[in-house]
Structure 1
């Protein structure tokens, strides 16, 4: 009676697949075809931008299942997209592009206003709250293999949940 053995195994596999998909669908940034080898992204958002504004930031929490680096970002809504860091150097707040951002295994790295973030420059359109922006993260693992994580990120005037970073009003 192989069909009896096969059917429960098939049901278990289907239930496992549904369980693996459901958390990704509940995330504000929904990875397309998320893999267990790719990082988990939570709380992602892009700051809204008015017509004529040339740049904005994207923010999220990234948890990698194994050591890797965020080495690039792209989006069709910006001519330039970079991984950036803001930090105090003496009495001066400085911002610079990073060639790579380490994502330690199992530790959440937060991209937030006033710290690490994605800088979207040369905007091709205004970004109204409630819209969604496609963003692709380029990742590299310890062996040098690259992968892409495709996200759909909501646009908001401020962090979801009303949170305010001390640099939340900072404009690029």
Structure 2
């Protein structure tokens, strides 16, 4: 009887120690991340954008992002509507096509850090944990710097 109790207690302890992360399904796609970058926070603001390139080996979806540096991270899209740039959260996540680079960049799809806990300055880093529908989560360290001028930035300057 004691062995049964000890075994049951050990199983409960192991279950309690589980991190809650699911193991990737066999044959699940993998996602690689390149060029992760977050803008410095503007003075007096607690929001900023982050950019990167995601490439999935099979069809998948970026469903959520977390960061210890911000209260909330949202997946956003920017698009022109009635000659105005509009931004909105992608509540269903960002679809990733197999083998095609999904570029998150200024003026397009991007991540928004909301409630940034400490100002971010050039040279800092931001830890981002990306969670996908089927691929294993990926932790990324993004540099804090200004992104290269994009077509959107150049159009906004004129």
Consecutive aligned runs of 4 or more in structure 1 exceeding 6 Å deviation? none
Stretches of structure 2 lacking an aligned partner (at least 5 in a row) = 1-27
- Partner in structure 2 of residue 73 of structure 1: 65
Match of 2:80 among 82, 85, 88: 88
TM-score by length of structure 1 reads: 0.68
Indicate the structure (1 or 2) with the bigger Cα radius of gyration: 2
Assess if the C-alpha contact under 8 Å between 1:38 and 1:149 holds in 2.
no
Match of 1:41 among 33, 36, 60: 33
Q: CA RMSD in A?
A: 1.9
Stretches of structure 1 lacking an aligned partner (at least 5 in a row) = 1-35
| Secondary structure at 1:147 match in 2 | coil
Assess if the C-alpha contact under 8 Å between 2:29 and 2:60 holds in 1.
no
The residue correspondences of 1:141-160 to structure 2 (distance < 5 A) are 141=134, 147-156=136-145, 158-159=146-147
Match of 1:57 among 30, 49, 52: 49
CA drift at 1:166: 3.5
TM-score by length of structure 2 reads: 0.74
CA drift at 1:167: 3.7
Aligned-partner Cα distance in 1 for 2:120–2:40: 5
